[in-house]
Amino acid sequence: MADRTDIKAARAALGEVLKDMRAGVAFTGAGISTECGIPDFRSPGGLWTRNRPIPLDEFLASRAMRTEAWRRRFAMEEAFGSAEPGRGHRAIARMLADGRLIGVVTQNIDGLHQASGVPAADLVELHGNSTYATCLDCDTRYELDWVRECFDAAGGAAPDCPDCGGPVKTATISFGQAMPVGEMIRARRMAQQCDVFLAIGSSLVVYPAAALPLEAKQAGATLVILNREPTDLDPYADLVIHADIGDVLDGLHGTPAPTER
Ligand code: NAD
Ligand code: ZN
């Protein structure tokens, strides 16, 4: 394991890994979006300390909790709705476009990988997407604007599904909610097939997502962890970089693969 905190040394070491990467996977967490103005969960002052996430059972138990969840979602839209992809997102989109990655697996729900040009077919959203909603009972999709209209028309109350009366929730995976089966299968397949697994901006404590780096490593991939703070998986990585994601990745994607030279 090589641990680099010096940016220049870190970029050089990562450049060496990327030079030979032909079938990489970028696995991202909230840390890649902090430079876009979206706070992560577990950094000091992160969302976790201000708003404990609402688990599924509490969401289902009362309309008051559903209303609180939607109130928070609309507040987030006002604060972060206009966020743009950052240097990390752009570097990953470029690696994918260059044919160096077999896919991108994200725990994020902010839609910024798509906004940076990653096609849906190459992206696995393990924890869903907060930019639209679904009925938890019949799966009908609803747009946030529609939820907002209903919410306001009801004097500030979470709406039910007009089709079946079920609860309407952002299309995200809350704590206590089952992981999406198809997305997990795609993510695990990518982890097992990649030659380099880049874990970027994740505290690697939310399972089962956090099992993917070790699955990749066990299947023979080179494991790189790029995160400002140490993670529990650092001892298993081939390269650990404790530095700012944008500073490290900016411009690095351009290294051509040996066969393209
Ligand atoms: P996390 O908050 O647990 O960990 C983020 C990590 O990123 C931290 O260890 C932090 O040190 C690091 N970090 C933050 N900014 C960084 C930067 N600029 N450079 C380098 N490292 C940086 O996030 P997680 O592991 O993704 O797990 C949290 C869960 O919360 C996920 O399920 C995710 O879906 C959700 N979440 C998503 C968003 C989003 O979509 N943007 C935001 C907050 C939380
Ligand atoms: Zn319904």
Name every protein residue with a CB atom under 6 angstroms from any ligand 1 atom.
29-31, 33-35, 38, 40-43, 46-47, 107-110, 127, 201-203, 206, 227-229, 244-245
The kind and range of the H/E element at 144 are: helix 144-153
Domain boundaries, the chain: 1-38+85-127+179-253, 41-82+128-172
Contact present, 133 and 73 (Cβ < 8 Å) = no
pLDDT in tens, 159-176: 999 999 999 999 999 999
Tokens (6 digits) for 229:
């703070």
Which residues does 9 contact at the CB level (< 8 Å), separation at least 6?
Answer: none
**CATH classification code of 1-38+85-127+179-253:** 3.40.50.1220
The confidence band for 141, taking pLDDT boundaries of 50, 70 and 90, is: very high
Homologous superfamily (CATH) of 41-82+128-172 is: SIR2/SIRT2 'Small Domain' (3.30.1600.10)
Q: Catalogue the E-assigned strands of 51-195.
A: 101-106, 123-125, 128-135, 141-143, 168-172
The whole-number pLDDT of residue 19 equals 95
Contact present, 48 and 42 (Cβ < 8 Å) = yes
Its pTM stands at: 0.92
Cα(213)–Cα(190) distance, integer angstroms = 11
pLDDT in tens, 184-240: 999 999 999 999 999 999 999 999 999 999 999 999 999 999 999 999 999 999 999
* Bridge pairing between strands 196-200 and 24-28: parallel
Q: Could you give the percent of the chain with pLDDT greater than 90?
A: 85
pLDDT in tens, 52-79: 889 999 999 999 999 999 999 999 888 8
What is the overall mean pLDDT for the chain?
93
Which ligand 1 atom is at minimum distance from the Cα of 106? 34
Please choose, from the candidates 202, 208, 244, the residue with its C-alpha nearest in 3D space to the C-alpha of residue 223.
202
Q: What are phi and psi of 240, to 5 degrees?
A: -120, 130
When comparing pLDDT for 4 and 32, which is higher? 32
Instruction: Tell me what the mean pLDDT of segment 244-261 comes to.
Output: 72
Cα(241)–Cα(225) distance, integer angstroms = 6
Q: Could you give the percent of the chain with pLDDT greater than 70?
A: 92
Which ligand 1 atom is at minimum distance from the Cα of 227? 21
Instruction: Tell me what the mean pLDDT of segment 137-157 comes to.
Output: 97
Shortest-distance ligand to the CA of residue 36: 1
Quick check: is 113 catalytic? no
Q: Separation of 33 CA from ligand 1 center, angstroms?
A: 8
